[in-house]
Structure 1
Amino acid sequence: MTSIERTAYPRFKKHISKKELEQVYTPSQAELNFISKLARKYELRLGATLLLKSFQRLGYFPVFKDIPRPIVQHISELLNFQGNPYLDYEERTLYRQHQNIRSYLDVLEYNRKGARIIETSMTAAAQVMDNPADIINVAIEELVRQRVELPAFSTLDRMAGKIRHAVNQSFFDMVNAKLTYYEKDQLEELLNVADPKQKSILNTLKELPKRSSLQHLQRLLDHIVRLSNTVGANYHLDGIPHTKIKHFAAEARIMDVAELKDFNVAKRHVLLLSLIYRTRIKARDDLANMFIKRMNHIHQRGKDELEQLRIRHRHKTEFLVATLSNVIDTLDTYPEDAEAGRAVRQLLIDQGGLEAIQDDCAAITAYSGDNYYPLLWRFYRSHRATLFRMVHLLDLTSTSQDQSLIQAINLLLEYENRRIAIIDEKVDFSFTNERWKKTIIKGDKINRQHFEVCVFSSLAAEIKSGDISIYGSETYADYREQLLPWVECEPLVANYCEQLNFPNNAQDFTTHLKDWLSTVANTIDQNYPSNGHVTIGENGVPVLKRHMSKEPTASSKELETTLLQRLPERNVIDVLCDVAHWTGWTRHFGPLSGSDPKIDNPTERYILTAFTYGCNLGPAQASRHLRGTVTPHMLSFVNRRHCDVNKLNSAMEDIINHYHQFKLPKIWGEGKTAAADGTKYDMYDQNLMAEYHIRYGGYGGIAYHHVADNYVALFSHFIPCGVWEAIYIIEGLLKNKSDIQPDTVHADTQGQSAPVFALAYLLGINLMPRIRNWHDLKMFKPDKDVKYKHIDSLFKDVINWEIIETHWQDLLQVVLSIKTGKISSSMILRKLGNYSRKNRLYQAFRELGRVVRTVFLLRYISDLDLREQITATTNKVEAYNGFTKWLFFGGGGTITENDPEEQEKIIKYNDLVANALIYHNVVDQTRILKELVNEGYLINREDIARLSPYITSHIKRFGDYIIDINIVPDPVDVEFSIEQNE
């Protein structure tokens, strides 16, 4: 059975606030008039009113005894009912009231039509969803949309289980009908273990890649070959939606051989085939990542070698300079050319001879101008055989009409086993730069060694930029195939443009942008004389007025001190327990099947698991401090089998949504803006995620957080140190499904890229990064002929409006594809993160981004309040980074997991614990502030605005931990007002 807590099935709250009673359960005058006509007796009026207001809230009629007492008392007082609120109707009276209330609310009774609606919606949902709770939620949404009464939850649960089983079984039967007897035997062989000391073949297929090295690259290629030789082909799973395949694969991944054998044969085969299919995709992604890292490593070694050569050649350079100086002195001493020539020749002979000096000049000239390319062969040579093997295994395709690199790769393959130094072929080198051409081409011949290094370097760059795609990959697939076809986009354009106030055709859209840029530039120019926040010097460089931070007042310091003194001491587990009671965040955890957890005390286990991983203690260490309450295996089991990234995101949303109901955080911010920033977490280096971070030092990954202006964390990603953080600025907002939906995002300098500005603008997101080196960014005029009286020197170039108008359809196709979930914004921005002359999408986004960024920069330099707002909000996310690190106190703050999915889960757990503590701190702060107001303490809004929920002084982190989930905390009070105090 599916747990009702995991669904959207409406139920009465355990604790109902006074405000909710007034807003939700108070009948209007029209409703009272309807009730008076429906029933004459006070008792029947009370019952009818309770049924009406309950049905409006729930969508079905509850049993009288299930209606919470506060609701009964509230409505009794409104109706001046003095008798016993215990109600017991005759069946026909109750039936009549039900019918009349349905008619009044224009809702249909649940009957066969309702059952058909449920069956149709659930069948469609089960094609792409597997969790019964999600399938039930779809049916509930459809019943509400069609204004049909909700049936009992048991009815929905029974139908969801039945339909899900039927849909899945149809998939299982379809796939098994395609399998031959030999293929079925091969699948069963994956689960056999001949030697108890060895692992099954299935476990070897689940192996994760290690850190980027030549040896591990070779092992990954071996792994891909094993996967290719393993049973299963794409056609076996044809007809099964991709989301279902991912779910089946995730289910198979967390199970061991014995558990898989417990399934029926048909299901077992589909789970194994799904796992093999997804593992092949993941292996290709990992191979591309490792290849890009290896080529970057080779180039870095070349740069380092060049620097060492410069150091070694420095004395030669000094010698040659001294020699040249002596030559000049000699020429100055001997006025006659003949005498001067003989003296110079003798001087050069004395300095070592012409040949030696010429060699020194050649050595220095060879590596001048930062050209380290000739040095790369030495470091590439050991990789040569492995990289050729990789090219043979991968199916590479150009995503543009330019086939020059693919042709170069094919030429390389022809010469793979030939031992020649020169290639006498005509090659189109349009795929590379001039420096490489000068290195490769000598006369009309091609140096084979340098040519090889150039081709593989270009391949790595074009895979990263999306100009080359890998068939069967996910991250590096052809992004064009993942876009929504324009035929499907076209009907959506008008409505989408209307929502964002954009013109719905290319010409008007371009004109709209040009007018916008012109208007802003003219306004800034006109207001410049009265703007004391920026001055433009004679050299055309603007100077911004420095922002002076405000010192806290004595009253704000006193308020903060008083609050800290009154905060009760708590430990992290108590906080998680209290917040679980208030928000029910643990309801999202459970088996992947969606059924009720078959473990003892599931809520307690979920809290302990969140504490264990969120504070980075690890199962063994946490178990020791929990005095044997749970074993390490129990904690590890719950983490692996009952928690995944999606469940953690849903649990976070519950806490955020309850947090958003409080009045106190709204003094800090309305939740309309958010800030994005990353912080490094240390890791072991034996995984593909870990990279060395130059700024922070050491190996690790980046937790990239989106934090609202009211201090709560909305979403997070865990990404490698070397990745361009800007690609996740927008994705975090799009994936945030909570009630707090910011439309403005601030970021650090990473967010200043023109394509990011463009994509944010088209998605209706106002990007306002904090830009440190903004002088280095170009501003663009709307027209080359326009001249500004005061700010003309700010502009360095002109917008190419033709590019935007020409590619308007491409821009809209990308945005609508993101909005419909066909492709992620991070994948698109990854393609746009590197300049590519082949990528027309890049060129269009860059030009649009130049418009949006210029408008922002003009406002940024002329508006001190805007700069202060950006600084204040980005400071909050930086403070949040420190707050989460304080809670991440176990294991020396180092993530010990090598599985990327587990690494991301740990960051999500950490965010969950952090948000729970933020929520609890706001509960305590609200209570204390109300006490202070009642005691006559003078409080003003400015002092409260300086407070923060990132308080840790009262939190106990270390020692033994005791959990008692049965202790029910006092109900929270979200209301807070200081009007009476001001």
Structure 2
Amino acid sequence: MPVSYVTEEQRESYGRYNGPPSSDDLARYFHLDDADRVYIARRRGHANRLGIALQLTTLRYLGAFLDDPLDLPSLVLSTVAKQLGITDTDPSLHGYRTGELRWDHQSDIRRHCGFVEITEPSVGFRLGRWLYALCWTGTERPSVLFERATAWLLTHKVLLPGRSTLERFVARVKSRVEEHLWRRLGTSLSDEQRERLERLLTVPAGSRNSHLDQLRSGPVRVSGPSLIQALTRLQVVRELGIELPTVAHLPASRVTALARFAGAAKASAVSRLPDIRRLATLVAFVHCLEATAHDDAVEVLEMLLRDVFATARKEDRKTRLRTLKDLDRAATLLADACQVVLDTTLPDKTLRKTLFAKVPRDILARALQEVSNLVRPPDDVFYSELSERYRRIRRFLPFVLENLRFGASPAGEAVVAAYEWLRTHPGRFKVDDDVPREVIRKRWQRYAVREDGSIDHRAYTFCVLDELYTSLRRRDVFVAPSWKYADPRAGLLNGNEWETARPIICRTLGLSPTPSPTLLAITKELDDTYRAVASRLPDNPAVRFEGTNELVVSSLDKLEEPASLLALRTAVNARLPRVDIEEILLEIAARTGFTDAFTHLTERSARAADLPISICAVLLAEASNTGFEPLIRSDMAALKRSRLSWVDQNYFRNDTITPANAILVAAQNRLVLAQQWGGGEVASADGMRFVVPVRTVHAAANPKYFGRERGVTWYNLISDQFSGLNDITVPGTLRDSLILLGVVLEQPTELQPTQIMTDTGAYSDVVFGLFRLLGYRFCPRLADVGGTRFWRIDAQADYGDLNAVARQRVNMPLIEQQWDDILRLVGSLKLGCVSANGIMRTLQIGDRPTRLAQALAEFGRIEKTLHTLTYIDDEAKRRGTLTQLNRGEGRHSVARAIFHGKRGELRQRYQEGQEDQLGALGLVLNMVVLWNTIYMEAALDQLRQEGFPVRDEDVARLSPLTHDHINMLGRYSFAVPEAVARGELRPLRNPDDGEDD
């Protein structure tokens, strides 16, 4: 590993002042207490007393002495001198700076304060052991380890060594950890296993790809053969027989990092690694690949089953339409017969004779039989159409039964039992076979169970597959190992761990360990809100009742833009410099240093020259969807095709894109203009759709958004400062409520929004409940308030006109019964022990909810009612929600302009590639927003200096989501003016000089 890995900022701040200390640091490190004053007073002369005081406080603050004891900020000098009553301009201080006495003072101060050298054996051992534990359990970059080692030395009063000494120390510890991990991974391998792993790097005769490349390639089609191929791949991985030694003692994060390298690097690069590292990398890759192969196979199975059942349902509708005439004719005959039967004037003795005279017996019998054949029950499973697809099922089902094993929660145990029965009984059932029947729900009874009580093999198979598909979607059934289809409940806090965490969770979230205090408080809040809204209802012109007490809320009128706002917007936009988009990336990189977050996959290769240029070029290639071609320049090493391909392969992944985005969000948050738009407490979530025209299993159909193609949804969380905080890519148009909580909880920026606004698609009682319990306020836009249910707790309370709509009552006893499980769930979510997306799948299940899901929904109904009441009562809240959602729409418009290549279609086959490309788009979007905000702030300052009337209320309505001044097309130069490279701003445009300036 290279030793020179620290950043420029770390070099400048290590053991020296990097600007004046903050007020808190001055109070903590530079205050002289009575003991300090007694110690300092022993020295004679103002220069000696002030000099030793400065060295004493500097050691406390920096952990090191300065070569020049007076090379410090003037604020520090004046603060210390003032406490001693000494003038900081005393000329005798210059003698102390060059005198030999300062060295004696350093030794004396070190003894007085108890500081030791790192060369002492006990210090080096303790620091090495501490760093070793950090490296073993985590994957922090060396620069982060250097920072943490520096903090450890300060805490333990160890004099900071030279920077290069500490760098080498950290590098040696990290190398020892890696070598130890490599040895552990390769310890239990037999000679045969070593040979199998080495063969992965060879290229078979007649092929262009190595075995490693073939294993890394997942399925791209949803079909029976594709599923069989995915299961064969899973079988090949299992046959390698690679198991981690003492898995519990190997850090999963480090094993995953090794596997990620093998999954992204070329086979030739892996083969060139040293033997011990190469074997360890392949072991980690195969171990993690089993989970990936599991996910790919189950995902294709899930989509294939969905396709089978959806196609059968569609054919059933077509068949029904073709037989409607026959059904109508037969039903008409039966209606005629019923009229005769219902005629009370006919005597019973002549009823049959009269009936058959009107409708002959044989015709009536045929009509009855025809109706019986054509009528479908409400929950019909269209079995006749399914049965015709049994041959398709039989082609892949044996491979599924042979290679996939499922675990289950209590709700999925019947499904797994039936699946295991199919696996162990591949032939047809006998009458006396003890077939698991708990899986046969009511709608399948008529098909799966014959009249004599025996089981119809074909119908039973479809029944099991139908329930398996449903249970997989709910995660009642899961596989292991897996990333996507693992048991979402596995990480829930339990036992002593939960008992220890409960008080902390309750204090953090403001909840009571017992249900009564929290429920009494929210009951009072609901009652007070009802009464307050009801009292203002007569004076609220936007709310009225129509028909049978249907609540109607009038649409918001367009908010007029005053002339001052229009003039200000025009003046600001006219001054924004014209710029090429690649220059924005380079300028923001120079201002924020976000490219430092992009580290090599292994952290063992030196950073190349002009790497920020290459990173910005790859970002632009991904975000613009044009590929590398418009950016390649043979005369610049940083823009050669080989360099861009190397950077794309080794530097771009989720764990580098995420910290880079956090840097951009923090930079936006520091701008005064962004603070005028919002303080970061509000965020909105919305999805942007992309057509995916290539063959892939990571896209789904929705004719409304994708036409005849398939596509994905890029779901974004956007702050009130216009910056994107987090995003997730999902196939098709998955219901927003399933992914919203994960997007909010897992966003890693310094902004922590507590009010989350969405469109109506994220509406859910469970989401309302979880957001309230986790300390957020869920504020969706309500498109149809009239269809919203209002819930109450006190059945006897009088809420005036609202009594007409407040008819449903919350089941409070159920919430009380499930309170501890509710706390355990939200605590596990808050601590990140479980995946929010997985948990949401188990809670949003509709027809068969668990008691916990029911209790969360009941709690959510209270919060939903509170939101609805304040929503209809407060026009400012309705308008604020709409404004924030419009910001998201505007941001998506800029994204469309940036993502212009290949007709704006996303052409990545694999989910990781989709996430990385859209993550790059999110970064470039944030850079455009940040650049616009910086120059808008400069333009406003100039306008104020010119005497232009700039009103704060108009500034708050400006938007950085403009791009007319940005050139996004053509070939890109990747060069910025020298002044901009030094950190200066570009000159603003003069609107009087013409359009082309």
Shared fold, TM over 0.5: yes
What is the DSSP-based 3-state SS (H/G/I as helix, E as strand, rest coil) of the residue aligned with 1:258? helix
Find the counterpart in structure 1 of residue 991 from structure 2: none
One-letter amino acid of the structure 2 residue matched with residue 440 of structure 1: A
Please tell me whether residue 173 in structure 1 is matched to residue 188 in structure 2: no
Please tell me whether residue 278 in structure 1 is matched to residue 282 in structure 2: no
Alignment of 1:33-182 (within 5 A): 60-61=64-65, 89-90=97-98, 92-95=100-103, 112=120, 115-130=124-139, 131-143=141-153, 150-182=160-192
Please tell me whether residue 952 in structure 1 is matched to residue 960 in structure 2: no
Q: Distance in 1 between matches of 2:702 and 2:107?
A: 68
Alignment of 1:80-479 (within 5 A): 89-90=97-98, 92-95=100-103, 112=120, 115-130=124-139, 131-143=141-153, 150-195=160-205, 197-235=207-245, 237-320=247-330, 323=333, 345=356, 353-354=363-364, 356-366=366-376, 372-400=382-410, 403-413=413-423, 415-418=425-428, 429-431=437-439, 433-443=441-451, 444-479=453-488
Alignment of 1:502-513 (within 5 A): 502-513=511-522
What is the DSSP-based 3-state SS (H/G/I as helix, E as strand, rest coil) of the residue aligned with 1:936? coil
One-letter amino acid of the structure 2 residue matched with residue 749 of structure 1: T
Query: Where does the alignment leave 5 or more consecutive residues of structure 1 unmatched?
Result: 975-982
Deviates more, 1:138-147 or 1:272-281: 138-147
One-letter amino acid of the structure 1 residue matched with residue 225 of structure 2: Q
Task: Tell me the alpha carbon deviations over residues 593-651 of structure 1, each in whole angstroms, 9 at most, x when there is no partner.
Answer: 22453433212211212122122221234327998962333212101112221111111
Q: Distance in 2 between matches of 1:278 and 1:7?
A: 36
Q: Please tell me whether the aligned partners of residues 374 and 439 of structure 1 are also in contact (alpha carbons under 8 angstroms).
A: no
Task: Tell me the alpha carbon deviations over residues 729-754 of structure 1, each in whole angstroms, 9 at most, x when there is no partner.
Answer: 23233332222221221122232212
Q: Distance in 2 between matches of 1:448 and 1:353?
A: 35
Q: Call closer, same or farther: CA 1:370–1:478 in 2, change over 3 Å.
A: closer
Q: Distance in 1 between matches of 2:385 and 2:22?
A: 75
Find the counterpart in structure 2 of residue 546 from structure 1: 555
Q: Call closer, same or farther: CA 1:775–1:429 in 2, change over 3 Å.
A: farther
By how many angstroms is 1:108 displaced? Answer: 7.7
Q: Distance in 2 between matches of 1:904 and 1:181?
A: 39
Q: Distance in 2 between matches of 1:117 and 1:266?
A: 28
> Among the aligned pairs, what percent are the same residue?
20
What is the DSSP-based 3-state SS (H/G/I as helix, E as strand, rest coil) of the residue aligned with 1:695? helix
One-letter amino acid of the structure 1 residue matched with residue 922 of structure 2: D
Q: Distance in 2 between matches of 1:971 and 1:512?
A: 53
Deviates more, 1:289-298 or 1:659-668: 289-298
The match for 2:629 among 620, 627, 643 is 620
Deviates more, 1:739-748 or 1:400-409: 400-409
Task: Tell me the alpha carbon deviations over residues 703-725 of structure 1, each in whole angstroms, 9 at most, x when there is no partner.
Answer: 11111001111111112124333
Q: Call closer, same or farther: CA 1:778–1:81 in 2, change over 3 Å.
A: same
Find the counterpart in structure 2 of residue 815 from structure 1: 826
Please tell me whether residue 610 in structure 1 is matched to residue 619 in structure 2: yes
What is the DSSP-based 3-state SS (H/G/I as helix, E as strand, rest coil) of the residue aligned with 2:407? strand
One-letter amino acid of the structure 1 residue matched with residue 738 of structure 2: I
Q: Call closer, same or farther: CA 1:801–1:32 in 2, change over 3 Å.
A: closer
What is the DSSP-based 3-state SS (H/G/I as helix, E as strand, rest coil) of the residue aligned with 1:199? coil
Please tell me whether residue 733 in structure 1 is matched to residue 744 in structure 2: yes
One-letter amino acid of the structure 1 residue matched with residue 300 of structure 2: M
By how many angstroms is 1:127 displaced? Answer: 1.2
Deviates more, 1:708-717 or 1:842-851: 842-851
Please tell me whether residue 912 in structure 1 is matched to residue 923 in structure 2: yes
By how many angstroms is 1:457 displaced? Answer: 0.9
Q: Please tell me whether the aligned partners of residues 533 and 869 of structure 2 are also in contact (alpha carbons under 8 angstroms).
A: yes
The match for 1:895 among 903, 906, 909 is 906
Q: Please tell me whether the aligned partners of residues 598 and 651 of structure 2 are also in contact (alpha carbons under 8 angstroms).
A: yes
CA RMSD for the aligned pairs? 4.1
One-letter amino acid of the structure 2 residue matched with residue 660 of structure 1: N
By how many angstroms is 1:555 displaced? Answer: 1.1
Q: Please tell me whether the aligned partners of residues 76 and 82 of structure 1 are also in contact (alpha carbons under 8 angstroms).
A: no
Deviates more, 1:332-341 or 1:650-659: 332-341
Q: Distance in 2 between matches of 1:365 and 1:565?
A: 69
Task: Tell me the alpha carbon deviations over residues 103-153 of structure 1, each in whole angstroms, 9 at most, x when there is no partner.
Answer: 999988766465455323311111122332343344345445556565444
What is the DSSP-based 3-state SS (H/G/I as helix, E as strand, rest coil) of the residue aligned with 1:664? helix
Q: Please tell me whether the aligned partners of residues 615 and 890 of structure 1 are also in contact (alpha carbons under 8 angstroms).
A: yes
The match for 1:650 among 653, 659, 673 is 659
What is the DSSP-based 3-state SS (H/G/I as helix, E as strand, rest coil) of the residue aligned with 2:879? helix
**TM-score of the pair, normalised by structure 1:** 0.88
By how many angstroms is 1:679 displaced? Answer: 0.5
Q: Please tell me whether the aligned partners of residues 117 and 143 of structure 1 are also in contact (alpha carbons under 8 angstroms).
A: no
By how many angstroms is 1:897 displaced? Answer: 2.2
Deviates more, 1:21-30 or 1:581-590: 21-30
Find the counterpart in structure 2 of residue 499 from structure 1: 508
By how many angstroms is 1:290 displaced? Answer: 1.8
Find the counterpart in structure 1 of residue 841 from structure 2: 830
By how many angstroms is 1:925 displaced? Answer: 0.7
Deviates more, 1:642-651 or 1:100-109: 100-109
The match for 1:942 among 953, 962, 965 is 953
Task: Tell me the alpha carbon deviations over residues 79-106 of structure 1, each in whole angstroms, 9 at most, x when there is no partner.
Answer: 8859999999347454467679889999
Find the counterpart in structure 1 of residue 993 from structure 2: none
Please tell me whether residue 874 in structure 1 is matched to residue 918 in structure 2: no
By how many angstroms is 1:858 displaced? Answer: 2.5
Q: Call closer, same or farther: CA 1:967–1:49 in 2, change over 3 Å.
A: farther
Task: Tell me the alpha carbon deviations over residues 501-555 of structure 1, each in whole angstroms, 9 at most, x when there is no partner.
Answer: 2112344444444444444344444554455543345623222243223111111
Q: Distance in 2 between matches of 1:688 and 1:171?
A: 35
Deviates more, 1:654-663 or 1:959-968: 959-968
Q: Call closer, same or farther: CA 1:912–1:502 in 2, change over 3 Å.
A: same
Q: Call closer, same or farther: CA 1:329–1:721 in 2, change over 3 Å.
A: closer
Q: Distance in 1 between matches of 2:99 and 2:417?
A: 82
Task: Tell me the alpha carbon deviations over residues 39-86 of structure 1, each in whole angstroms, 9 at most, x when there is no partner.
Answer: 999999998899789878766556559979999999999988599999
Q: Please tell me whether the aligned partners of residues 108 and 148 of structure 1 are also in contact (alpha carbons under 8 angstroms).
A: yes
Q: Distance in 2 between matches of 1:147 and 1:836?
A: 62
Q: Distance in 2 between matches of 1:30 and 1:166?
A: 36
Q: Please tell me whether the aligned partners of residues 552 and 786 of structure 2 are also in contact (alpha carbons under 8 angstroms).
A: no
Q: Please tell me whether the aligned partners of residues 727 and 830 of structure 1 are also in contact (alpha carbons under 8 angstroms).
A: yes
What is the DSSP-based 3-state SS (H/G/I as helix, E as strand, rest coil) of the residue aligned with 1:212? coil
Q: Distance in 2 between matches of 1:864 and 1:478?
A: 44
Q: Distance in 2 between matches of 1:715 and 1:107?
A: 44
Aligned length: 967
Query: Where does the alignment leave 5 or more consecutive residues of structure 2 unmatched?
Result: 987-997
Q: Distance in 2 between matches of 1:743 and 1:385?
A: 51
Q: Distance in 2 between matches of 1:66 and 1:965?
A: 39
Please tell me whether residue 799 in structure 1 is matched to residue 810 in structure 2: yes
What is the DSSP-based 3-state SS (H/G/I as helix, E as strand, rest coil) of the residue aligned with 1:826? helix
